[in-house]
Amino acid sequence: MARKFLYVVAALIMLVIAGGFVVRIYEKELTEYAFVPTKKFEAQKAFATNIYDDPKMWFARGRDGADNVTEWQPAGAPPIDVPGPAAIFFIHPTSYMEKNHWNAPLDDALSQERAKMFLRGLASPFAASGEIWAPRYRQAAIGAFLTDKPEGQMALDAAYRDILLAFDDFVAKVQKDRPIILAGHSQGALHLTHLLKDRVAGKPIAKRIVAVYAVGWPISEATDLPEMGFPACASPDQTGCILAWQSFAEPAEYARILKIYDSTTGFNGQTRANSKMLCTNPLTGGAKPEADMAANLGTLKPSDDLTTGELIKAAVPARCDQRGFLLIGDPPKLGPYVLPGNNYHVYDYPLFWANVRADALWRIEKFLAR
């Protein structure tokens, strides 16, 4: 199977739905799809606590193995002569689109290959910062996000238990004084928000966190962020902070997303209604809510055959609006996989690939200086 970018697969599976906003957001667009499993929920057998000792349980495990997709770099990216000193824990988004199971079996070849494609485009900006650790886990199926059935949440809980084991192994294996970056996208960012709350906030490891990139997932500044243990990044010089954004071209149509968001409950038990979502402008590192396209160091654009890609400078601007969506102006021509309402969720990282790379490197430098 030819290795292609996440763009094709992610668009075909409507990756934007991989969140807690169920089918009601895009009910009209998704009526023809049948992703929700009809089979009885299968409780996932608990992994052995040492299962992540096995290198086969990782897509990337530092620099172990020759086939590390996270080390790929597009044309135009500066060469990585010596990787930075950080250890990066990256959680990939949903790649299991079948309805045979509520949680993806790890021997499902197609979903595992898709996950590699995702990591190639999404995790690669961090390759210059250090060694990337990307665990395999029994992710919740895409159908788990398209239903109000309790099985959907059960599947997410099961996936998160795998992530906890992987993270504990990661922490045990990396050097005790090594700086850490935490990152993920979509379902991966969802698990990351819980991981911060349950494993990092208020604990000694929090002092080692350079930054958290929880991209493609709504985080309420009022009801979620205080429970996650870190503030929002307000400048590119800041460390120990969180960056998050959700990308839309204009005119942006996200009213239905807001309707569902406003009906949910945050980590502190309070309603998210009318609360602003965390939006970090990746072109300014959070220093300003708006920047023109001249500040964009490079957007990852795929080749026509989607087997490689290049960085295009000054292609896309960005500004955070009043509710916390990141608006990118006129729809850029990155490919035909834009989701309903001018939603560029699939491209959250690629839109700002070079800026994410530079942002992580700069924050590491500042972290070490302190």
Query: Which segments of the chain does DSSP mark as H helices, in order?
Result: 6-12, 109-122, 150-173, 187-195, 255-261, 353-369
Mean pLDDT over each residue of the chain, to the nearest integer: 89
The range of the structural domain enclosing residue 128 comes to: 6-369
Domain assignment of residue 142, yes or no: yes
The total domain count for the chain is 1
* pLDDT > 70 fraction of the chain, expressed in percent and rounded: 89
d(CA 187, CA 261): 16
Domain assignment of residue 139, yes or no: yes
Q: Are 26 and 257 in contact (CB under 8 A)?
A: no
pLDDT at res. 14:
43
pLDDT at res. 296:
98
pLDDT at res. 4:
35
Q: Work out the pLDDT band at 66, boundaries 50, 70, 90.
A: low
pLDDT at 30 over 70: no
Q: Please name which of 75, 334, 302, 349 lies closest in space to residue 360, comparing C-alpha atoms.
A: 349
Domain assignment of residue 346, yes or no: yes
Cβ-proximal residues to 117 (8 Å cutoff; 6+ apart), any chain: 3, 4, 5, 6, 9, 69, 95
Q: Work out the pLDDT band at 28, boundaries 50, 70, 90.
A: very low
The residue type found at 181 is I
d(CA 165, CA 97): 24
d(CA 315, CA 293): 6
Instruction: Identify which has the larger pLDDT, 67 or 135.
Output: 135
Domain assignment of residue 1, yes or no: no
pLDDT at 6 over 70: no
pTM of the predicted model, to two decimals? 0.92
pLDDT at 125 over 70: yes
pLDDT in tens, 315-366: 999 999 999 999 999 999 877 668 889 999 989 999 999 999 999 999 999 9
